C-alpha cells in the first residue's frame, strides 16, 4: 500500500505542469455560461490545444493513474473543463473505441480528439429515465437506413452537438433489454428538432430532441442490432467510473475559498460553521483517497472501471451538495443573490443525485451487485 507515484508518472506530471503554465495564459477569455456557441468554440478550442500538445488521448489510452494525474493537474492549474466535449470524450469515444469497427473508429474518433465534433447522449426519454431499458423511440430498417421516430429528453449539449449516441428500439417484441440498438445519429439529419429546456439554474443546459422519420445509415450502428443494451453498459461504466476525478480537486479548492471568505466576513468565529467546514475537509480528503484507491484497483485489473464507481458517485454527489449548502452558510443573506459566486453552483449541484443514475438507483446497484442482496419484485 503506497501513495507514491512512479518516476515515469512524476515525469508526466512535471511535463504537463510545464505545458499548462505556458498554454493557459494563451486561452481566449471564458464565454458567458449562457453563450452556447461561445462555449462550444471555447471547449473545442481547448481540446484542440490538448491535441496539438499530445494530450488528446489521455482519457482513452493512458493508464488510470496517468489519467488521474492529468485531471488533478489540469484542475489544479484552473484549465477548462471538458465541457461540450464530455459525451464525445468520456462516453461515445470510449464506446466506439471498444465496440466500433475499424471504419467507425476512423470516422468518429479523430474529430473527437481534435476537438472538431461535439456529441450528445440520447438515452433518456420522457417515460424512460431510471428504467432506461423501457425506452420506446423506435427504428425500423428501410434499405441501408434505419428510420427513427420518437423523442428524447434531458439531452445535454443537444443544441450544439454534431452527433448523438442514440438508443432506439429495433425489436418491440423482444424482452425490453434485448431489442435495443446503439446508433450514431447526425444531429443535422432531417427530422431532428431540438427544443431547449430551461434548468432550475436558469440556463439551457439540456434539451428535448424530437425525432420524426429520421434516416440513420445502418453503417452508423455500433455493435449488433438488438445488442445495444450491452454496448450501453460499456458506456455507463465509463460515465460512473471516471467522470468525477477533476471535480473532487475543484471541490477541495472551493472549500479553501470558503474558509478564506469566512475569515474575511467574520463567519469563521462561529465554531459550528468552522467545524462544519472541517468536516467537509475530511469528506473531500476521503473522497480523494477513495479516488486513488479506485484508480489503483482499476490499474491492477487492467483499466476496467469497477463498481467502486457507484460507491464513489453516491458519496460524492451528496458531499457536493453539502459543500454548497455550507457555502450558503458562509455567505449568509448573500446566498440568495444569483450574482454571487457559488449560488449558481449550489443550484447545479442539485442535479448530481439525479443525472447519470439517481442515488436511489445507485443504492440498488451497490446493494445487489456488491452486497449480493436479492433483486426486489
Q: Which residues are catalytic?
A: 239
Long-range CB contacts (within 8 A, 24+) of 200-204: 200/347, 200/350, 201/344, 201/347, 201/348, 202/338, 203/33, 203/34, 204/34, 204/36, 204/159
Q: Which is nearer to ligand FAD, 122 or 241 (CB)?
A: 122
Q: Give helix 64-76 / helix 7-23 axis angle, nearest 10°.
A: 30
Q: Check residue 87 for interaction with other proteins (CB under 8 A).
A: no
Residue 52's nearest CA partner among 23, 10, 83 is: 23
β-pair partners for 140: 147
**335 vs 116: CA distance, rounded Å:** 38
Q: Which is nearer to ligand FAD, 95 or 351 (CB)?
A: 351
Stretch that binds other proteins, among 33-41, 72-80, 95-103, 357-365 (CB under 8 A): 357-365
Euclidean distance between the first and final Cα of the chain, in Å? 41
Q: Give helix 308-331 / helix 245-265 axis angle, nearest 10°.
A: 20
Segment 244 to 263, residues that bind other proteins, using CB under 8 A: 255-256, 258-260, 262-263
Q: Residues in the site for ligand FAD, rule: CB under 6 A?
A: 120-124, 129-130, 154-156, 205-206, 351, 354-355, 357-358, 360-361, 364
Q: Check residue 373 for interaction with other proteins (CB under 8 A).
A: yes
Number of residues that bind other proteins (CB under 8 A): 56
Which listed residue (158, 314, 327, 356) binds other proteins by CB under 8 A?
A: 314
**Minimal distance, residue 111 CB to other proteins, in Å:** 33
Stretch that binds other proteins, among 23-31, 139-147, 322-330, 367-375 (CB under 8 A): 367-375
Q: In the numeric block, which cell numbers belong to residue 150?
A: 420518437
Q: Which is nearer to other proteins, 54 or 256 (CB)?
A: 256
**372 vs 365: CA distance, rounded Å:** 10
**205 vs 245: CA distance, rounded Å:** 21
Positive or negative, the Cα torsion across 4, 5, 10, 13? negative
371 binds, among ligand FAD, other proteins, none (CB under 5 to 8 A by kind): other proteins
Q: Check residue 377 for interaction with other proteins (CB under 8 A).
A: yes
Q: Check residue 311 for interaction with other proteins (CB under 8 A).
A: yes
What does the binding site for other proteins look like in residue numbers (CB under 8 A)? 1-6, 9, 65, 68, 255-256, 258-260, 262-263, 268, 274-275, 277-279, 281-283, 285-287, 289-290, 292-293, 295-297, 299-300, 308, 311, 314-315, 360, 362-364, 366-368, 370-377
Amino acid at each position: 500500500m503506497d501513495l507514491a507515484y512512479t518516476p515515469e508518472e512524476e515525469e508526466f506530471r512535471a511535463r504537463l505542469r510545464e505545458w499548462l503554465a505556458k498554454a493557459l495564459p494563451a486561452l481566449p477569455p471564458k464565454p458567458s455560461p449562457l453563450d452556447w456557441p461561445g462555449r462550444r468554440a471555447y471547449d473545442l478550442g481547448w481540446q484542440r490545444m490538448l491535441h496539438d500538445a499530445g494530450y488528446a488521448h489521455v482519457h482513452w489510452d493512458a493508464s488510470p493513474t496517468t489519467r488521474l494525474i492529468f485531471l488533478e493537474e489540469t484542475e489544479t492549474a484552473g484549465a477548462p473543463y471538458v465541457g461540450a466535449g464530455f459525451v464525445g470524450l468520456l462516453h461515445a469515444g470510449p464506446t466506439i473505441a471498444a465496440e466500433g469497427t475499424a471504419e467507425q473508429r476512423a470516422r468518429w474518433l479523430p474529430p473527437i480528439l481534435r476537438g472538431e465534433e461535439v456529441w450528445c447522449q440520447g438515452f433518456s426519454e420522457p417515460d424512460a429515465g431510471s428504467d432506461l431499458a423501457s425506452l420506446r423511440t423506435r427504428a425500423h430498417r428501410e434499405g441501408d437506413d434505419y428510420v427513427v421516430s420518437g423523442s428524447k429528453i434531458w439531452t445535454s449539449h443537444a443544441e450544439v452537438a454534431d452527433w448523438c449516441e442514440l438508443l432506439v428500439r429495433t425489436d418491440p417484441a423482444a424482452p425490453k433489454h434485448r431489442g435495443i440498438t446503439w446508433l450514431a445519429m447526425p444531429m443535422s439529419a432531417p427530422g431532428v428538432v431540438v427544443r431547449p429546456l430551461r434548468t432550475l439554474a436558469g440556463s439551457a443546459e439540456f434539451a428535448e430532441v424530437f425525432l420524426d422519420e429520421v434516416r440513420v445509415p445502418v453503417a452508423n450502428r455500433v455493435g449488433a442490432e438488438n445488442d445495444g443494451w450491452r454496448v450501453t453498459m460499456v458506456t455507463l461504466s465509463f460515465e460512473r467510473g471516471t467522470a468525477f476525478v477533476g471535480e473532487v480537486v475543484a471541490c477541495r479548492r472551493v472549500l479553501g475559498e470558503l474558509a478564506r471568505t469566512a475569515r474575511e466576513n467574520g463567519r469563521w468565529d462561529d465554531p459550528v460553521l468552522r467545524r462544519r467546514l472541517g468536516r467537509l475537509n475530511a469528506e473531500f480528503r476521503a473522497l480523494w483517497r477513495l479516488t486513488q484507491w479506485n484508480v489503483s484497483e482499476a490499474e491492477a485489473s487492467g483499466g476496467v472501471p469497477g463498481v467502486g464507481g457507484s460507491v464513489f458517485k453516491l458519496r460524492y454527489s451528496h458531499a457536493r451538495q453539502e459543500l454548497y449548502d455550507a457555502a450558503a452558510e458562509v455567505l449568509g443573506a448573500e446566498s440568495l443573490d444569483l450574482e454571487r459566486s457559488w449560488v449558481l453552483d449550489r443550484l447545479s449541484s442539485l442535479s448530481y443525485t439525479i443525472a447519470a443514475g439517481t442515488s436511489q438507483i445507485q443504492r440498488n446497484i451497490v446493494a445487489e451487485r456488491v452486497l449480493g442482496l436479492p433483486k426486489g419484485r
